[in-house]
Structure formats: structure tokens, C-alpha cells
Amino acid sequence: MGVTLSYVVKRIIFSIAIVLGISIITYVFIYLAPGDPAYVWAGRPRGPLASEAIAKARVELGLDQPIYVQFLLHVLRFFSGNWGLSIRFKQSVFSLVMRNFASTLELLLVSFITSIPVGLFLGIYSSLYRGSRVDAAINSLSIVLSNTPRFWIGLAMLLAFTSLNVPTYGRISDSFRGELVERVGLYLVDSLLQGRLDIFLDVFTRIIPPALALSLYPIGAIARVTRISLSEALQEEFVREAVSLGLPRKTVVYGYALRGLIPSLVQATGLFFSYSLIDAMAVEYVFGREGLGSLLVKAIPANDFPLITAALVIVTLVYVVTNTAADIVQALVNPRVTMQ
């Protein structure tokens, strides 16, 4: 296995380029969009002094500069770690984004911890019994699962749980919010670190329904990718050879066929994870949870460009990180691959 320095450098340059690209696009869109950030920053003033206040705000935000200067300043600040203040919330963008990202990440992690094994199991099973009735059932199920709108499923679940009197709205009950000491930012972990099982259970019951709603797509998608690629792998000559050599079915499937699938499965899962970020936004909104999605929903009407760029950059980084992980796994599994 060789993860070379040049690979790491390339990845970093690639990420920076993507972040720059995202910033440019956001900038351009916000520049073209109706609405004025200076107006929001000045506190939406009215009356005779309003235009003066807005002009002052424009200077404060640097909006009086030509757009390329604005952009350069923004990028320089961004890469030096100074993400500025949110126009809408007047709080540090960095801490806003991080707090909300932790919430989204927690939701996604819970959803993927369940969907990866379930999706794999369904995919492997239907591929091994290809053509059987079970296979047909799993296949239609996975198509339905990966195509049902998550927003709709989220709403249905919310209604179902609420009618059962299970509290699922919000991330944590209001009474616990003051008591929880945030350390990692993931409430499931923080509550355990604090030794508060009651808080943990509250957070847990609230996260399960949205996580389930979110996991339907990855379950279906992972099952389908696994089914197709495992069926192909089972036809590979070295896998058939393993059968011919009398190796048991388990060894053939898990030791030979599935091994070659790991990189593409990791890659696909990473991709589904990135897609799920988008779904998470809708689901968070339905369930009244904080998160990157709800944050963006609030930031966009206010033309809150520092916050929007930062949130999008985080989304991008998640994508880059999962992809890099997939590459590294590929190099670990496949001796022919060295990462250049």
C-alpha cells in the first residue's frame, strides 16, 4: 500500500480548489440575488435615517468595494480561519456552523450506522439468491425505498410518532437543553459522557424517527449497488476458481468476491452520505431539528453570505473527506493500487 505525499498534496489542492469554486459561485449568486445584506445587517431600518444606516452597514460589510476586492478579502479571511459574523444572527459563523453541523452529523451517523449493514445484508442476500422470489421482493423494495421522497416519509413518521405520544419534535427536550454539557457536540455522546442516561434516551428517541426517514434511501441504494456488483464479482474468474478449488461458499463470497467490492461500496456509500446531507435538510426542517439544513434555510433569505458559504464549504468538505476515505480504503484493499 502506498499513500504517497503527492497524493495528500493533490487532495489538499483539490479541496482548496473546490472551496474556492463554491465561494465564487455563492458570491455570484448572492450578488445577483434580490435583497440587500446591508439592510439586514443594519437591522432592517425604516424611517428617515434608514438609508444612512444602510450605507453605514454597507461600509462595515465592505460591500462598497468592487466585487473582486470583496471576494478576495473574503477568501483570505476564510482561509486564515476568520469566518466573520453571520449577518442574520450576528454571531460567529464558525461556531454557528460547527454547532449545527454536529447536529446534522449526529443524525447522519445514526442513519448510516443502521443503513449500511441492512443495505449490505439485503444486497448480498438478493445477489446470492438471484432470480428467486426473495430477490425480486428485495429488489422492488429497494427501488421503492430509494425513490420515496424523504420529506414525505419524514412527515408521515412525525405524525405517526406524535399520535403515539412519543416526543420526536426537536433535537432535545427543552428542560434538558440547559442541563446538557456540550463537549463533542454530538448529544448522544455528550449525554453519556455526563452520565445522564435520561438525557441520552430523550435524544435517542428523538433522533430515531428522522434517522429512519433518512436511512431509507441509503438502504435501498446500498442494497442495489451491492446486488449488482456482487453478482458481477461472483462471475469473476478468480471467484469461480475459488469454487472450483473446493473452498466453502462463505470463503468464496466473503473472502474473495466481497473483498474486491469494498472500494466501490465505500465510494458509493460516501456518495450516498453526501446526498443524504441534502435530504437531511428537509428532514431536519420537518422534525424541527437544528442542523446545517435549517441553518441554510434561515440564512438564504437574509443573503447571509458568510454563513451560506461556510455551510456549503462544510458540505463540500464532507464530500471530499468521504471520497478520500474511499481512495484510501481502495489502496488498503487492492495491492495493485498505489495512490499517486
Give me the residues that bind another protein (CB under 8 A), please. Answer: 130-131, 236-238, 240-248, 251, 255-256, 259-260, 333-336
Residues 6+ apart with CB under 8 A from 46: none
- Please identify, using beta-carbon distances, which residue of 77 and 240 lies nearer to another protein: 240
Q: How far is the CB of 67 from another protein (least distance, A)?
A: 52
34 CB-side CA count, 13 A: 0
CB of 71 to another protein, least distance (A): 47
Least separation in angstroms between CB 268 and another protein = 19
H runs (alpha helix) in the chain: 5-32, 37-41, 50-61, 67-79, 93-128, 133-147, 150-163, 174-177, 187-193, 197-234, 237-244, 249-250, 258-286, 292-299, 305-333
Buried b (16+ CB within 10 A) or exposed e, 308-331: bbbbbbbbbebbbebbbebbbbbb
Output 31 or 129, the one with its CB closest to another protein.
129
What does the DSSP assignment read for 18-35? Answer: HHHHHHHHHHHHHHHSSS
Closest to another protein by CB, 233 vs 302, is 233
Inter-CA distances, 132 with 84, 253, 264, Å: 58, 18, 25
Q: Cα–Cα–Cα angle for 131, 132, 138, nearest 5°?
A: 95
Name the minimum Å distance from CB 257 to another protein.
10
* Location of C-alpha cell 482561509: 79
For residues 260 and 288, which CB has a smaller minimum distance to another protein in the complex? 260
**Is the CB of 189 or the CB of 247 nearer to another protein?**
247
Place of cell 461556510: 310
Q: How far is the CB of 267 from another protein (least distance, A)?
A: 17
Cβ 262 to another protein, closest distance in Å?
10
Q: Smaller CB distance to another protein: residue 261 or 310?
A: 261
